[in-house]
Amino acid sequence: MNAPASNTNPGIAQPLARYAAWRRAGDFIYLSGIIAVDPAASRIVRGYADIPDEAATLIGRTGEFSSDIKEGPILAQSWYVLDRIRQTVEAAGGQMSDVFKLVQYFKNLDHFPQYSRVRKLFFPGEPPASTVVEVTGMLPTADILIEVEATVYLPQR
């Protein structure tokens, strides 16, 4: 197994404990589960205010408090997680079209439609194979609504 070339790049998903953000095994790259937490800043993504304005607008921020407070947390976390997957895959030398499998863990499966809208922005063509699971909780706090792990096929050159 080859060690990651750039597993400390600040844009990629950073582990919350002692494990690799990603590992290569032959032509496959396995990403650890990614949640909407920036450990360097000790910040959990809780809504639109925690992601770039352009992203918040793209994924559906309305400016109406009652709507944004209800959908904002899952939409912002979905964007953050998928963007970290994108940055991690790119750091490994690939692109999102190289992602062929996602495993998505939700605290509430009712959030899947909102997540799916965001996922289409990252996978506009053929989507990856997917598994969706509802779980009772995720680390580090109850504020975490989603965790996604990815498998990438990226032949070594």
pTM of the entire structure? 0.89
Q: Which residue has the higher pLDDT, 10 or 154?
A: 154
Rounded distance, CA 121 to CA 18, Å? 31
Q: Which domains does the chain have, with CATH numbers?
A: 22-153 (3.30.1330.40)
pLDDT value at 52 more than 50: yes
Per-residue model confidence as pLDDT tens digits over 119-148: 999 999 999 999 999 999 998 899 999 999
pLDDT value at 8 more than 70: no
Per-residue model confidence as pLDDT tens digits over 12-42: 665 555 678 889 999 999 999 999 998 777 8
The predicted structure's pLDDT at residue 20: 82
Look-up of token digits 């699971």: 133
The predicted structure's pLDDT at residue 2: 43
